[in-house]
């Protein structure tokens, strides 16, 4: 097996050294960004909520926020559960249709195979023949039992 020639050899570990700025380096000028539409700038401009946080975080709204968060999480979970259930129902519906088609096919095959003429043809190699005399009823006197 050939050695991997793409790997670098281990170099000596670098020590903690002080970085020195070179005065010759010239930083490129930063171009001013064009002013455009920004959703967050617009929200900050028209929804001034800084007055709520002047004295710290308002804890009096915390139960309401937690309640709404819980309802939202429940709603999302319920939606996922409903979609999963719908997918299961669709899958079972397809399987049921396939099984119904198989049942119909097997039932028609059984009906055809159980005809008197088919049974007679299938048992002929065994030496069995169809009786030509009609059946008769055996009568037993009541005092024999």
| Domain layout of the chain by residue ranges | 40-124
Report the distance separating Cα 12 and Cα 122, nearest Å.
90
Max mean pLDDT among 9-18, 48-57, 91-100, 107-116 falls in: 91-100
Task: Look at residue 95 in the predicted model and tell me its pLDDT.
Answer: 97
Express each pLDDT in 29-82 by its tens digit. 666 666 678 888 888 788 877 777 777 777 888 899 999 999 999 999 999 999
**Within 10 Å of residue 134's Cβ, how many Cβ atoms?**
5
Task: Look at residue 97 in the predicted model and tell me its pLDDT.
Answer: 97
Q: Which pLDDT band holds residue 2 (cuts at 50, 70, 90)?
A: low
pLDDT: is 92 or 25 the higher one? 92
pTM over 0.95: no
């Amino acid at each position: 097996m050939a050695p991997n020639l793409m790997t670098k050899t281990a170099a000596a570990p670098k020590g903690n050294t002080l970085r020195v700025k070179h005065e010759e380096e010239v930083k490129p000028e930063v171009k001013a960004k064009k002013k455009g539409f920004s959703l967050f700038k617009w929200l900050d401009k028209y929804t001034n909520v800084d007055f709520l946080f002047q004295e710290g975080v308002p804890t009096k709204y915390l139960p309401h926020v937690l309640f709404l968060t819980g309802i939202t999480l429940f709603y999302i979970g319920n939606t996922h559960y409903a979609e999963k259930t719908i997918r299961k129902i669709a899958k079972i519906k397809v399987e049921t249709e396939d099984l119904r088609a198989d049942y119909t096919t097997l039932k028609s095959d059984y009906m055809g195979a159980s005809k008197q003429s088919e049974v007679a043809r299938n048992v002929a190699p065994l030496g069995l023949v169809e009786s030509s005399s009609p059946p008769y009823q055996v009568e037993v006197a009541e005092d024999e039992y």
